[in-house]
């Protein structure tokens, strides 16, 4: 059978869950490369990030989403509202939902995510992640039965996104729900995001990994220059913080911290882009940007 005669399926799959359960790690594992940034800090993902995998006649369009979280006194800024809206918007018109939870832990935020899924008509697959870190494997089966009673899931699959355990089983379950249809993207395309977007995200990832315990979430990255030549990609990135003290922490003594962040980000960019990268980083204080809807839109936090 030629590829043209092969039955084609194509569908959108939303990956949802509370912060820090491994949504981005799962998508990167499925795609076999880094598209979504990761760190141990909650709310690392701020945007919907699309990852596309085409295998034979099937095209999976995964949508990685920000962690759905309960608004509270310290999570009541415009950027928090944006992240929750971005995650909820991803549930519209999808063909399947992968709802991720962390081992045998069930929190109020997991319950809040489940509540948001009440009116979703698409089949929902529950992925129980990080099972490699369970101390007593005997706890797993009773827990799967308990959590399965919370609602009717299309399937429940224990996985380890980090190590790839049973991720192929999860993909097989997702494949059952892809409708017949032509592929929306070329077979070799892996994301809808630009290299400019990925560059900003890689810088932000390195900041969060190196300074997650010291630097609050009021930090973002704006690409001011992205210029490709035959041999080198020239990138200038502006890291925005809200207070002068945060700027001092980010630069570090004698500029060592910002140099380390730049070095790690540049190496990741070179691997991702397949070219040499000349990266310049700057730090600027922009007070109140994370609670200013107009500023957020200008920085690319726009649901449109």
Q: Is 123 annotated as a binding residue?
A: no
The 10 Å CB-count burial string (b at 16+, else e) for 113-147 is bbeebeeeebbbbbbbbbbeebeeeeeeeebbeeb
Q: Is 18 annotated as a binding residue?
A: yes
39 in Cβ contact with 25 (< 8 Å): no
Q: Is 269 annotated as a binding residue?
A: no
SS (H, E, C) 160-174: ECCCCECHHHHHHHH
Q: Is 165 annotated as a binding residue?
A: no
Look up residue 156 and give its two tokens: 């429940």
Q: Is 65 annotated as a binding residue?
A: yes
CA angle 123, 129, 135 (to 5 degrees): 145
Q: Is 158 annotated as a binding residue?
A: no
Q: Is 21 annotated as a binding residue?
A: yes
Residue of 185, 157, 129 whose CA lies nearest to 11: 185
Q: Is 63 annotated as a binding residue?
A: no
Q: Is 132 annotated as a binding residue?
A: yes
Q: Is 68 annotated as a binding residue?
A: yes
Q: Is 17 annotated as a binding residue?
A: yes
Annotated binding site: 17-24, 64-68, 129-132
Annotated binding site for GTP: 17-24, 64-68, 129-132
């Amino acid at each position: 059978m030629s590829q043209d005669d092969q039955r084609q399926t194509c569908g959108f799959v939303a990956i949802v869950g509370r912060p820090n359960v491994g949504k981005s790690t799962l998508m990167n594992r499925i795609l076999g490369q880094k598209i979504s940034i990761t760190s141990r800090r909650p709310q690392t993902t701020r945007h919907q990030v699309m990852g596309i995998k085409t295998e034979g006649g099937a095209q999976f369009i995964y949508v990685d989403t920000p962690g759905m979280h309960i608004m509270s006194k310290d999570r009541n800024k415009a950027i928090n509202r944006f992240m929750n809206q971005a995650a909820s918007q991803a549930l519209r018109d999808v063909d399947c939902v992968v709802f991720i939870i962390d081992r045998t832990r069930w929190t109020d935020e997991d319950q809040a995510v489940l509540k948001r899924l009440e009116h979703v008509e698409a089949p929902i697959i529950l992925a129980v992640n990080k099972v490699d870190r369970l101390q007593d494997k005997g706890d797993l089966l009773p827990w799967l039965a308990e959590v399965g009673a919370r609602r009717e899931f299309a399937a429940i699959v224990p996985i380890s996104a980090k190590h790839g355990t049973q991720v192929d089983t999860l993909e097989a379950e997702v494949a059952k729900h892809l409708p017949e249809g032509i592929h929306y993207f070329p077979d070799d395309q892996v994301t809808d995001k630009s290299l400019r977007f990925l560059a900003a995200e890689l810088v932000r990832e390195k900041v969060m990994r190196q300074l997650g315990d010291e630097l609050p979430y009021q930090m973002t990255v704006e690409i001011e220059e992205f210029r490709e030549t035959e041999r080198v990609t020239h990138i200038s990135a502006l890291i925005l913080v809200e207070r002068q003290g945060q700027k001092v922490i980010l630069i570090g003594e004698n500029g060592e911290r910002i140099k380390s962040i730049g070095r790690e980000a540049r190496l990741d960019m070179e691997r991702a882009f397949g070219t040499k990268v000349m990266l310049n980083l700057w730090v600027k204080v922009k007070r109140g940007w994370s609670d200013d809807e107009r500023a957020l839109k200008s920085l690319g936090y726009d649901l449109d």
